[in-house]
Chains A and B, each alone.
Chain A
C-alpha cells in the first residue's frame, strides 16, 4: 500500500493508504477516545466514542472502522465532535450502574476515565434509576451486567482469541445483554475461566472472584500458619498493578508479602522446577514406551498441563486427547500438595493449621484449586488464590510503599528457583525449561543453544515449532534416543491451541511434545494480570521474564539445590511412589 497524505486538525500527515482514521491519528500523535476498540481484537465500531468530523461529510465518522482516503481532512476535537462524544458518554452512563466506589475497577476504568476527561458532571439523560447490581459468581470470574456497556470486547475475546465463544449478545435492541447458552451461569457452560474477557473489559462488568477477605482473616488469625507462593509472571506484573512502570520486582514482592504478616513467602518457581523434573521424566518414559517397547497405548505427543484454562478447554473440547496430557499437576497444585506434607514436616507445623495461598496471574487457578481431586495432602492443597491485582490491592490496603521497600529473599525449603522456573511465565518457557533439563538427562551434555536460550520457542508467534536432533552418543540407558529428532510445538491463546489440536486429532502432526498456554503471551498475559493488556505490554513483561532468567545463578531446573534436597529426603526419585501420590493427577471429560 502506498502512502497518502491526510490532514489531521490542519496538519498534513503521511500514512499508509487503507489504515483507519484512528491509526492515522495515532501516527500523528493525536489521541482519540475509544471504548469498544481493542488492539487485540477485530473492529466492532459499536460504542461511537471515537467519532470524528471529516470535512465534506454529512455525518460524523467512526474513526476506528473508517479507512483514510487521499487528502481526507479530519477534525478530532471540533465543537460537533465534542458535543457528540459527550452525548455518547451520557447515554452510556445513564444505563450504567456507576457504583464506582464499590467497583473492582474503581480508578482503573476506561468509562470512568472518559467521563472525567469529558467533564460529565450532570446527566440530563438519567431519566430512570440506575440499574441494580446483578452479580453472578463462578470460581474464577464474576459478572455484573449492570455495569456492562455492550462494547462486545469480551464476546470478541472469547471467540477470536480463545475459540471458546460461550458469551454472546442475547436479545435485541434495548433488551440486549451479554449472556450464555440458555442464559446459564458460567459454571454450566464450557467457560475455561481464563479471564481474558476480564482484562479486556473497559468497565467492571467482569472481574475476578475476590478472595482478599478470607486471606486477611487467615493472616489475622494467630493460630494459622499462612504460606504464600508466587507464580513466575506475578513478579513482572505486580509493579504495574501498583501503578509503577513495567519491571520485574521479585525482591520487593517478597518483602511486601512478608509485610502483610504472612508466615512464609515461598516460590511457585520452585515447583515449576519440580514440574520440569517430573514432566521431563514422563516425556522420556513415554518416548521409551513408543520407540523401544512399541507400546501402542503410549499417547504422543505429550502435552503440558500447567495452564488450568487449557486443561478445562481440552476437557470440554477434545476429551479424546486427554491421554496425551501430562499427568503432572500444575506448579500451583504441586506446591499445595507439598506445603501440607513436606513443608509441614520441615517446619514442624500441624498441616491442619497451614493456610496455603497462591498469588497467580490467573483466574482459572481459582477454579483449579477447587477441583475435587486436588486434596492429595489430606487437606485442600491450595486454600486461596489471589490474582496479581488482588495482591496489589492488599499491599495498598496495608499501606506498604512498594517503590521504597527493601528487597528481600524467599524463605527456605521451597523458595529456591532457577531461570527455568521463571520462564514458565512466558509462552514457550515450559518447553525451553523442559528441553534444558531433558536434553541434559538423556545426552549428558547441556543443550546446544547459545547461553541455554532456546530461541525457536520464544516470541509472540501464535504457534512455534522446533526440532532438536539428539547426538549419536547418549547417556547410559538412553541410547534409544541416539540421533532421534525431537519435534516440539508451542501454542498460546486457545484459538491457536485449537489449530494444533485439530492437527493432532486428524493425525497430521508428528510432534513429540506440545506446550499450550491458555492466554496470549503465556501467563504474563494471564487473566489475573494488571489491566489493560496489549501486544506492547505483553512484550515488555516478556522482556522482564527473560531478564530475570538471565540474571539467576541457576538456569536449569535440575540444578535447583532445594529440588535436589526434596528428592533426596522426601520424594526419593522422579515418577516414584510419593510423586504419584502427591504430584500427579487425572482429567475428566466435560460436556
Chain B
C-alpha cells in the first residue's frame, strides 16, 4: 500500500528542510516511492518550499527521471543523447517499441513496463546504454535488448 503523497512530502521536508536547495531531494523521494510525482505532491512541495506550483512543475519537467504520470512496475530508460545515438540507440528504441507494442513515454496495458528515453546517463563509453529500474545495461544489441525485456516480471 502506497503512502499518501502529502505524508511522503512532509517526511521528506523533515529530512531535507524546506529551502529551495532541498527540492531535488524531496522530488526524488516521491518519485522513488510512487514511481511518479502526482499533482497533489507538487502542490504540497510548492507549499512547503514557498514557491509557485509552476516552478516545481518546471523543475520536474527538466529531469528525464522524474515523471508526473503513473508508471509501470518496471521502467526502461533508454539513453538517446549523442554518443548512444551514434552507436545505434535508434535501432534499440525501435526494437523495444516493436517488442512491447508501445511508443516511448507509454506503459504497456498490463502495467508491466514503461518505456522512456532519457538524457545522458554517463555510460557514453559503453553506448548504446539503458537503465532498467536501477540496473544499467550497456553495449546493447537488438537481441540482448529482447532478452532483457523478456526477463522482466
Contacts and interface: CB of A to CB of B under 8 A. Distances in A.
Interface of A: 159, 164-173, 179-182, 189-190
B22 interface: no
Interface in B30-48: 39, 42
B68 interface: yes
Contacts of B52: 159, 164-166, 168, 181, 190
Contacts of B68: 182
B51 A170 contact: no
A190 B51 CA distance: 13
Interface string B43-61: 0000000011111011001
Contacts, number: 39
B53 A172 contact: no
A60 B52 CA distance: 36
Given A181-B42, A182-B39, A182-B68, A172 B62 contact: yes
A507 to B, nearest CB: 20
Contacts of B119: 172-173
B49 to A, nearest CB: 12
A181 B54 contact: yes
9 contacts: A167-B54, A168-B52, A168-B57, A169-B58, A170-B58, A170-B61, A171-B62, A182-B57, A182-B68
Contacts of A172: 61-62, 119
Nearest to B60: A170
B61 A189 contact: no
A189 B57 CA distance: 13
A141 B68 CA distance: 27
A263 B103 CA distance: 61
Given A181-B42, A182-B39, A182-B68, A168 B54 contact: yes
Interface of B: 39, 42, 51-55, 57-58, 61-62, 68, 119
A164 B119 CA distance: 31
Contacts of A182: 39, 42, 57, 68
A168 B53 CA distance: 10
A173 B81 CA distance: 11
A165 B53 CA distance: 9
A165 B61 contact: no
A164 B61 CA distance: 20
Q: Which 4 A-B pairs have the closest CB atoms?
A: A168-B58, A165-B52, A181-B53, A170-B61
Contacts of A164: 52
A190 B52 CA distance: 10
A165 B57 contact: no
B45 to A, nearest CB: 12
Contacts of B58: 168-170
B55 A165 contact: yes
Contacts of A181: 42, 52-54, 57
A120 to B, nearest CB: 29
Given A171-B61, A179-B54, 19 more contacts: A164-B52, A166-B52, A167-B54, A168-B52, A168-B54, A168-B55, A168-B57, A169-B58, A170-B58, A171-B62, A172-B61, A172-B62, A173-B119, A180-B54, A181-B53, A181-B54, A181-B57, A182-B57, A190-B52
Nearest to A173: B119
A506 to B, nearest CB: 15
A169 B55 CA distance: 9
A376 B149 CA distance: 66
A501 to B, nearest CB: 14
A512 B68 CA distance: 46
Contacts of A179: 54
Contacts of B57: 168, 170, 180-182
A192 to B, nearest CB: 12
Contacts of B54: 165-168, 179-181, 189
A399 B62 CA distance: 50
A179 B54 CA distance: 8
Contacts of B42: 181-182
B81 to A, nearest CB: 10
Contacts of B55: 165, 168
A517 B41 CA distance: 33
Contacts of A180: 54, 57
